[in-house]
């Protein structure tokens, strides 16, 4: 049967030509980035999205919680200046890849990446998260899982996952 000849009742769609279709509105795009080539690829996707929809891009770098042993205690990395180095790298990527008019903010957080991405997405009321996947397979994927998978499961908004090797549309 030709779909164009079907009536709205037959397709299950409620079609009313007098009601305009709802437009997709993006104000804030969150791009978690670890400064790898894969995550920069996700950022290359985010820029045209932001430009097309008039949205801003927030870049997030998450430093997995690590500790350094001293004589008296274990000190979190952030107290050792590591987050400052991450902030400098993130700002360098932002300056190199994101037009100033599209850059909303850059953020550095410590903790589990998937949890911090979810927290920040809620804090900034993100409309879209664009995240990369590193394509881990086999035992490594089984043991550590995929941050991208966890983000998709728990995100408060739609998530676009950019694969390392895929058909390009940007």
What are the pLDDT digits (tens) for 29-48?
999 998 788 889 999 999 99
Give the pLDDT score at 4. 46
Give the pLDDT score at 145. 53
CATH number of the domain where residue 42 is located:
3.40.50.620
Please report whether residue 103 resides in a domain: yes
Q: pTM for this one?
A: 0.75
Please report whether residue 2 resides in a domain: no
How far from the centroid of its chain's Cα atoms is residue 90's Cα?
A: 14
Please report whether residue 9 resides in a domain: no
Please report whether residue 7 resides in a domain: no
Q: Which domain holds residue 156?
A: 30-162
The count of domains in the chain is 1
- Token pair for 51: 């430009």
Torsion sign, CA atoms 53, 38, 147, 83: negative
Please report whether residue 6 resides in a domain: no
Please report whether residue 170 resides in a domain: no
Residues (pLDDT < 50) of the chain are 1-8, 137-144
């Amino acid at each position: 049967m030709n779909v164009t000849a079907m009536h709205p009742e037959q397709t299950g769609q409620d079609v009313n030509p007098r009601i305009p279709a709802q437009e997709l509105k993006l104000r804030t795009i969150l791009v978690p980035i670890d400064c790898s080539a894969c995550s920069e690829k996700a950022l290359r996707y985010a820029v045209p999205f932001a430009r097309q929809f008039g949205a801003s891009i927030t870049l997030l770098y998450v430093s997995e919680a690590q500790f350094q042993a001293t004589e008296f205690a274990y000190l979190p990395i952030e107290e050792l200046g590591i987050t400052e180095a991450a902030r400098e790298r993130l700002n360098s990527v932002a300056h190199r890849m994101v037009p100033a008019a599209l850059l909303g903010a850059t953020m550095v957080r410590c903790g589990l990446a998937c949890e911090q991405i979810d927290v920040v997405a809620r804090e900034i009321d993100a409309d879209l998260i664009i995240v990369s996947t590193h394509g881990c397979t086999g035992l490594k994927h089984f043991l550590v899982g995929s941050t991208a998978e966890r983000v998709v499961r728990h995100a408060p908004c739609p998530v676009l996952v950019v694969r390392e090797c895929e058909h390009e549309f940007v």
